[in-house]
A = this chain, B = another copy of it.
Amino acid sequence: MAAPDQDQEYWTDERSARLALAHVVEPGDPGTAELVATYGVLDVWHRLRARGSRSRWAGRAAAFDLRAAIERTRACGARFVVPGDEEWPGQLDVLAGCEAVQDRTGPPMGLWARGARDLGAVTARGVAMVGSRASTSYGEHVALQLGHDLVESGIPVVSGAAYGIDAAAHRGALSAGPGDDGPVTVAVLACGVDQVYPAAHADLLAQVAARGSVVSELPPGEHPTRLRFLARNRLIAALSRATLIVEAAYRSGARNTVTWAQACGRPVMAVPGPVTSALSVTPNRLLRDHEAELVSSVEDVRALLSPTGQDTLVGHQEPPAPIDLLGETEKVVLEALPGRGSVGLDELSVRAALPLARCAADLEALSARGLVTETLMGEWQLTHRHLVRRA
């Protein structure tokens, strides 16, 4: 096949064949993935174009116009990135060895990318955040917060571009301030990178392109289909170090992305939710079945990503309650005091089953803390009842 005269060096036969296959073959097609793995893209493309080809893609291949395809890519301001390019995300190579999921498999022929940032740099160390379109305000709140906190921690977000969790994850990421070179967020589409789907996300996608990257394995102009969403999900999982599911109903595309993460051997994390919420059925079920690790915060995510894992989980630190600061016999004395009224030292010693001298010393210490008070009659009473009855 002949590339156009201008920049013939850039449009090598290999790049052109990848562009052609990306136009003609549905993404993740298992038969083509196998052929490409065996014969390489050039050979597969030539076979498809050969007269008398009985491939299901032969009709589309015959109609393919390379010059027009390159022009469409240029017109929408996207680059077509292929393996071997400096900015190719190497983490996608994992897809070459993956089992098929829902009849999709294999690495993409190439990726259209929009955005000024280097695709490899902006996706490196990324974490996928996925979930339902029909999310609740709980799920959106958590996705926003985690998106923000991940980017603040130097971890870019990878997601789709749907309503709900996808949009909240991107918005959270965009609200963080990692500086011009810091990681931000990547939207992986199931349609061309020039398409806006859903239409209400025009501004969101423009912001993602401006500070991160919008990518797709589908040519400009293409619309999403069910199979394309399924194929797109493998890219989200493979581009990311881990996949985090925030909210998803029993039936959900996000569950498919999780299956891809598992197929790629990447960790799966899930945000739990109310067992009464249909939107938490999938994360809760993944946790129940030990298919995901529970995360509540960016600290949990970072701990799971760090080489030492669980050991570095950061504890939730709360100041000790006043009763924790007491010695063991001081606690006993405190509890031996009546809820109402006062008691003498002798009786208290029997009640507490402690020697008189120990009791007297502990009462002094408790008094210094303001927990007990001596009456005018020389008896002792509680100052703060509420501290005593806490189990």
Which residues does A use to contact B, with CB under 8 Å?
26, 56-57, 59-60, 63, 103, 138, 141-142, 190, 223-227, 229-230, 232-233, 250-251, 253, 256, 271-276, 280-281, 284-285, 287-289, 293-297, 300, 310, 313, 316, 318, 321, 323, 328, 331-332, 335-336, 339, 349-351, 353-355, 388-391
Contacts and interface: CB of A to CB of B under 8 A. Distances in A.
A226 B60 contact: no
B391 A141 contact: no
Nearest to A358: B56
A229 B391 contact: yes
Nearest to A280: B272
A274 B138 CA distance: 8
Contacts of A272: 272-275, 280, 284, 287, 294
Given A56-B353, A251-B321, A316-B285, A335 B273 contact: no
20 contacts: A56-B353, A103-B328, A138-B274, A141-B276, A142-B276, A223-B339, A225-B335, A226-B389, A226-B390, A227-B331, A227-B332, A233-B391, A272-B272, A272-B280, A272-B287, A272-B294, A273-B275, A281-B316, A284-B294, A288-B296
A390 B316 CA distance: 40
A167 B355 CA distance: 39
Q: How many copies does the complex hold?
A: 2
Given A331-B226, A349-B59, A391 B253 contact: yes
A258 to B, nearest CB: 13
A85 to B, nearest CB: 28
Nearest to A133: B391
Contacts of A354: 56
Contacts of A57: 353
B226 A391 contact: yes
Contact of A273 (B225, B230, B274, B316): B274
Contacts of A56: 353-355
Nearest to A389: B224
A237 to B, nearest CB: 14
Closest 5 CB pairs of A and B: A229-B391, A272-B272, A253-B391, A225-B335, A275-B296
Nearest to A339: B223
A366 B354 CA distance: 85
A226 B350 contact: no
